Structure 1
Amino acid sequence: MPSLDRRRFLRDAAATTALVSAGGLAAGVATPAQAAPSTAAATPTARRKGAVSFRWWGTAGWRVDIGDRTILVDPFLSRIDTGLFTGAFKTDTALTVRTDVIDPRVDRATTVLVTHTHWDHFMDVPYIAKRTGARVFGTLTAYHLGLAYGLPSTQLSAVKGGEVLDFGDHSVEVVGSLHSRNPSYSVAFPGVRVSPPPQPATIADLPEGDTLGYLLRVDGGPSVYFTGASDVAERNLTGLAPDVAMVAMQNATTTGDYLPRLLAGLDYPKVVVPVHYDNFETALQNPPPVAPTDRTRLNEMIAAVRRISPRSRVLVPEYETAYHF
């Protein structure tokens, strides 16, 4: 325990890292109504290869630019209408990749990190990988689904947690995680793919396929943990201690002590960024649309983070705004 306390003390004492500037950030919290395009300043070091920026693409999706490299996390830009937010959810909704939305935003990508293979995380990945030549990292299910879409095996890397991938000026540690459960204690579209299936046609053809988290460490820059679902295997978080955590909002209360276990496991990050709080079946326009019940949950999440980890700052992101931690 003393070593953990010392690490957290040294991290908190570092020179003005992740200072969030946003209207209404009193007591380190930006409320949904107050959240504005916000930045977090970091002190450059001699090792830094180039500027690092983080842009939220809604749901759990991110674009991270590190110098001349671009990492995408769960890029879902098509935002098709399944009826999920109107009470008329259609599990047979056709998978429709909107190239008109993707192409202007994805000019390049070197790496794609997939947390799990539900449609709102994976659907656009095969097209993006073919367009950019990016290498796709994900579970064995993601690997087999990639093959089903015609991606070559040389462009797909199956991971399961514990891997530390070295990219030179940054590294990615893969973390075994869990998917959230609905009020019936079930996971939507459960299952894995142990061999390449026929090419998926509907959202039900993309199962959860197990869930991962990713810790990005940038030389001379921040360490950032990405989640794609609101459950946690906290024992897998030991020693990660990221500066920033992208935390999926909990949609049901069936997972016990989700935020307390997650924040403690991550050693109480300096910045907590709520994700997966938006209505991801609407256009990618600010302010991010939030369903009334989800806005209540988001407010409750912000209050809970403030209570559990009072030293953490909460940054409520807006779409496509460049954040620098």
Structure 2
Amino acid sequence: MSDDTNTNARNHHGFARRAMLRGAAVGAALPLLPTAVGGATAATARPRSADSAPDPDSASLRWLGTAGWRIDIGNRTVLFDPYLTRFSTGLFEAAFDPATKIKKTDAGLVREYAGSPELILVSHSHWDHIADVPYIAKATGARVVGTETTFHLLVAFGVDPLQISVVKGGEVLDFGGGLTVEVVASLHSRNKKHAYFAPGTRTAPPTTAPETISDLPEGDTLAFQVSAGAGGPALFLMGASDFSERAADGLRPDVAMVAVPSSSATHRYAPRLLRALGNPPVVVPVHWDNFETPLREPVVPDPTMDLTGLIDQVRRESPASRVVVPDYRTVYGGDLRPRR
């Protein structure tokens, strides 16, 4: 983990794809990646109120690559965009094939990385966000929260319709025990031509289960803010590098998982987003890795993603924010400090 810390303290905040044809090349991001976590600072405790359950020290997070996260709050697990069974589409070899077959989920990877989730939050329905969700949902019984398109695709894959909650943005879902999920209407990132892979929505299940990645359209995009009780962290989760400024305005997450933009198609992306979120105390860049390499191996940065540029913008626009560049192997505390 790379931990860019500004000494200015922040008070605790309250309740709150990237385009497949990518943008300009960037400088090397490898120096930002961790070499060790020994001696890292332990998670900082926050005071608890009577209705806060659990406390922030019981919250832990693990990056699943791409935009994905596993969030453990006490003995409860929430997954966001869990793409674990990675496979090659040619995207990172400049030979992208939309007819690539969807690979069967690796059950061993699910056991290792997904645990026993209670909730699966899905930002949108492209393969690198949803491909493993049908298996995980059927194997664990987890409730899936996503768009109407996500609903219809999962039903076609054999997921019980009663297991899926369709949302549009604006919903505030209370799962009890202090676990709250606010659904935020959002947008998909765009390439330099202001377009992106597989747009479109579904209003009914396909007659057969999807077989190729082009059978999985975006289907609108959501962001989520997960709150772990009044005394725990509020986590803003993005699955793509664009957003609705009006929908995000006023959210005040403690930690913002910010997708690295693949182009400059979105006007003043980082400054507008940071301002809307109230300059979060912790910013975590996501969706900058080569997500066609195995998850059990070290992170391989996508050299076309401007990770360094995003970090520089955060430092400039929100100097009090701490930037944490995650890796696959570290489990972090609720404030994104490595667990010992």
TM-score, L = length of structure 2: 0.84
Q: Distance in 1 between matches of 2:274 and 2:142?
A: 31
Residues 1:201 and 2:211 aligned together: yes
**How far, CA to CA, are the matches of 1:320 and 1:72 in structure 2?**
16
Task: Report if the CA contact (8 A) 2:54-2:228 is conserved.
Answer: no
CA deviation map 1:297-324 (0-9, x unaligned): 1111111110011111100001142111
Partner of 1:62: 69
| Structure with more contact order per residue of length (Cα contacts < 8 Å, sep ≥ 6) | 2
Code of the residue aligned with 1:140 in structure 2: it is: E
Find the counterpart in structure 1 of residue 46 from structure 2: 43
CA shift, 1:137, in A, is: 0.4
Query: How far, CA to CA, are the matches of 1:186 and 1:99 in structure 2?
Result: 34
Confirm whether residue 318 of structure 1 aligns to residue 327 of structure 2: yes
Q: Which residue of 2 aligns with 1:173?
A: 182
Correspondence for 2:274 among 234, 241, 263: 263
The number of residues matched between the two structures is: 298
Q: How many angstroms does 1:284 deviate by?
A: 1.3
Shift of 1:64: 0.4
Indicate the residue corresponding to 1:132 in structure 2: 140
Q: Who is 1:302 aligned against?
A: 311
Deviation digits for residues 222-262 of structure 1 (CA, Å, limit 9, x no counterpart): 11100000001111012211111000000111111111111
SS in 1 for 2:108: helix
Structure 1 alignment gaps of length 5 or more: 1-10, 16-30
Contact 1:42 1:221 in 2 (8 A): no
Check 1:311–1:190 CA distance in 2 against 1; reply closer, same or farther (3 A cut): same
Give the conservation status (yes or no) of the 8 Å contact 2:92–2:290.
Answer: yes
Greater shift, 282-291 or 313-322, is seen at 282-291
Deviates more, 1:117-126 or 1:98-107: 98-107
Does the aligned pair in 2 maintain the 1:232–1:261 contact within 8 Å? no
Partner residue of 1:242 out of 250, 253, 278: 253
Change (3 A) 1:88 1:40: farther
CA pair 13-241 structure 1, distance change in 2 beyond 3 A: closer
The change in CA–CA distance for 1:310 and 1:162 in structure 2 (over 3 A counts) is: same
TM superposition shift of 1:49: 2.5
Q: Is 1:154 matched with 2:165? A: no
Shift of 1:185: 1.1
Rounded to whole Å, the distance in 1 between the matches of 2:145 and 2:195 is 26
Q: Which amino acid aligns with 2:254?
A: D
Q: 1:69-218, aligned counterparts within 5 Å?
A: 69-96=76-103, 97-168=105-176, 169-197=178-206, 198-218=208-228
Tell me if the contact between 1:248 and 1:275 (Cα under 8 Å) persists in the aligned partners.
yes
The one-letter amino acid of 2:130's match is F
SS of match in other structure, 2:204:
coil
Q: Deviations over 1:73-131 (max 9, x none)?
A: 00000111101011011111100122232233233110000000000000100000011
3-state SS in 2 of match to 1:217: strand
Closer, same or farther: CA 302–100 of 1 in aligned 2, 3 Å: same
TM-superposed deviation, 1:68? 1.4
3-state SS of 2:71 partner: strand
For the 8 Å contact 2:172–2:180, the answer to whether it is kept is yes
| Structure 2 counterpart of 1:13, from 11, 14, 26 | 11
Amino acid at match of 2:121: L
**Structure-2 change in CA distance of 1:286 and 1:201 (3 Å):** closer
Report the Cα offset of residue 191 of structure 1.
Answer: 0.5
Q: Which residue does 1:290 correspond to in 2?
A: 301
Separation (CA, whole Å) in 2 of partners of 1:181 and 1:243: 27
Alignment of 1:274-285 (within 5 A): 274-285=285-296
TM-score of the aligned structures, taking structure 1 as reference length: 0.88
**Alignment-mate amino acid for residue 203 of structure 2:** V
The 3 A distance-change label for structure 1 pair 14 and 110 is: closer
Partners of 1:57 and 1:320 within 8 A in 2: no
Moved more, 225-234 or 47-56: 47-56
Contact 2:79 2:114 in 1 (8 A): no
**DSSP-derived class of the 1:144 partner:** helix
Q: Distance in 2 between matches of 1:14 and 1:62?
A: 22
> Post-superposition, which runs of at least 4 consecutive aligned residues in structure 1 deviate over 6 A?
none
Counterpart amino acid of residue 109 in structure 2: V
1:254 aligns with 2:265: yes
